[in-house]
Amino acid sequence: MRFINLALVTSAVVLGACSGSDKKQDTAPATPAPAAATTAAPSSGAAGTAAPITGKTVEVKMMGDATGYRFEPANITVKAGDGIKFVVVSMIPHNVAFDAATIPADVKAQLDANFGAGRASELSSTLLTTIGDSFTLSLGSIKPGTYAFYCTPHLAMNMKGTITVQ
């Protein structure tokens, strides 16, 4: 019974914190500086070094409304080397995170490195706090498999999905 009460109180607090306006703020989100051109070969994707996106980039909307909190689409199939651009559409804040306990050891370091400058902590992006903010995750040098991800602030509201790398 205590667990249920705790879950209800936690959900109420998160919903209250996330019930901000859907209006776009006047300030544009900061964009990273473009990478300097080099004559060196592209990164091999070694652990600790972000692997570049060498294929297509799929866009995923991060949203919340009367039907719930969700990634749209929630289940994505891509190839190694593709990228996923997560875009905030409504009900901020959002992020993209993976449970380190579910990621194979031989994938974890590379996936973490691929978060690049958008990394807040291990296998987690920074919180995106403005409608229109985005975060792009490279799947360069990621071996085939299915990887579950979620939005930390809205995990209790079942905001999660899967990425299948072919």
Positions marked active-site: 94, 151, 154, 159
d(CA 122, CA 14): 22
State both tokens at 152.
């930390």
72 beta partners = 61
Residue partners of 43: CB distance under 8 A and separation at least 6: 49, 50, 51, 52, 140
d(CA 7, CA 60): 28
